Amino acid sequence: MKFKYSFIPAFLFVIVLLLAGCQVATQKKAEPSKGRKYNVVAYVAGFRNFDFSTIDVSRLTHINYAFVNIKDGEVVFDSTKIDGKALTPNDLRVLNNLKKVNPDLQVLASAGGWSWSGKFSDAAFSEESRAKFASSCVRLVQKYQLDGIDLDWEYPNQVGAGNTFRPEDVHNFTLMLKAAREELDKAAQTEGKGKHYLLTIASGADATYVKNTELGELQKYVDFINIMTYDFYNGLHKVTGHHSNYMPSANPELDMNSVVNAVDLHLQAGVPANKINLGIPLYGRKWEGVKSVDGKVLFQEAETVGMGIDYADFANDIDQNGFKRFWDETAKAPYLWNPAKKIFISYEDEASIGCKTEYLKSKGLAGVMFWEYCADRQNELQKAISKGLGK
């Protein structure tokens, strides 16, 4: 990490103290990670102007390509422009070529996402539509020589980005996954040689998501679940807050979400610990025009909502350029504050990642997922993840 030399000793001392505090918070010493292989799932966005051939796959186990779409009830590659960038299936060829560097790497296509989840409900609605959807999953993975498919439905029985939704989604999502699992297994059996196609999902982190899914039942059909443990405070909030805090904050009435809460909800719903990946954001949330009240800037009103900002775009501001780093000891989460510009940034750093990786090891979780590879600065946060996992 590029810090001024005079700053390094103090920074490392703080990190040591914070990680010690994280171990106390878990109330259980992490089991030794020797010999344990954790999932490290990287989402990569096809709509970013990024050369995928330069991806460092040495620390990754899986890559989820974002996104493929659902059209006429089928999963298809959609070359529609997102943020001005047209997606291209050549991306998948480039990602598969990365296996020459890391032969154990597995590449999946992720269907849906925030913008393209509008057709999930219709595709899941009937036995016929589910069969059609499942067959298209097989065609997609075989056509592009993928290792599986990830379903990112945002969200069953919720409107999301103006999506079609219905109460039947709750059970139909389970049936959709069952149908997809069966078709993928049939295809793998036909190919032989121990072939197995992965089926995974991205799940919401709050009680509303759990209420509108059958996690305990649907987990039987997936290889693992990537919990989106971020965006707790987001682009809908004109109040500052942590967007990916490990522990509940000191203001639970304002900040109900946390990594611990999300994992507990999944475990209580019947998801085995070894099928859960923690989501870690490689981006922050920025609020402008923040009102400081008695010197407090956390959970305060702002003129803007929490806008997404890549870690690479503000990493140079950590304890520099008028910004000061603060640590919320209760939530185990960092934030930046610039009093002159009245800017607040909630983000992830090595200390908070260390807390989360110690926690996931103590709980026996499968590993981590992060969004999104291109947002990092020189892979700094990814290196922190690997360090935390003992790699």
Phi, psi of 300 (to 5 degrees): -120, 155
Angle between helix 259-269 and 350-363 (nearest 10): 20
- Joined together, the tokens standing for residue 98 give 């990365």
Tokens coding 215:
């996690």
Q: In what order do the strands lie in the sheet with 324-328?
A: 307-310, 283-287, 343-346, 333-338, 324-328
Sign of CA dihedral 298, 299, 303, 306: positive
Per-residue pLDDT in tens (0 to 9) along the chain, 391 residues: 332 223 333 333 334 444 445 654 444 443 444 567 999 999 999 999 899 999 999 999 999 999 999 999 999 999 988 888 889 999 999 999 999 999 999 999 999 999 999 999 999 999 999 999 999 999 999 999 999 999 999 999 999 999 999 999 999 999 999 999 999 999 999 998 899 999 999 999 999 999 999 999 999 999 999 999 999 999 999 999 999 999 998 776 656 789 999 999 999 999 999 999 999 999 999 999 999 999 999 999 999 999 999 999 999 999 999 999 999 999 999 999 999 999 999 999 999 999 999 999 999 999 999 999 999 999 999 999 999 999 7
| 325 falls within a domain | no
Q: What are phi and psi of 365, to 5 degrees?
A: -75, 165
Model pLDDT, residue 25: 45
Active site residue 154: yes
Supply the pLDDT for residue 256. 73
Specify the number of domains making up the chain: 1
Range of the structural domain that residue 11 is part of: 5-282+352-389
230 inside domain: yes
In a domain, 295, yes or no: no
Distance of CA 231 to the CA centre of its chain: 10
What whole-number distance in Å separates Cα of residue 244 and Cα of residue 254?
14
* 310 domain residue, yes or no: no
pLDDT at site 21? 54
**Given this model, what pLDDT does residue 101 score?**
97
**What is the amino acid identity at position 283?**
Y
Which of 31, 74, 127, 154 is catalytic? The answer is 154
Q: Half-sphere exposure of 96 toward its Cβ, with a 13 Å CA cutoff?
A: 15
Residue 329 maps to a domain: no
Whether 260 contacts 359, CB under 8 Å: yes
> Is there a domain that residue 110 lies in?
yes
Question: Which conformational region is residue 299 in: left (phi greater than 0), alpha (psi within -120 to 50 degrees), or beta?
Answer: left
- Mark out the alpha helices in 43-200 (DSSP H runs): 90-97, 120-123, 127-143, 169-191
* Cα 36 to the center of its chain, rounded Å: 21
Secondary structure of residue 20 in the 3-state scheme = helix
CATH no. for residue 168? 3.20.20.80
In a domain, 339, yes or no: no
Residue 31: cis peptide before it, omega within 30 degrees of 0? no
Region of 234 on the Ramachandran plot (φ > 0 left; ψ -120 to 50 alpha; else beta): beta
Residue 60 maps to a domain: yes
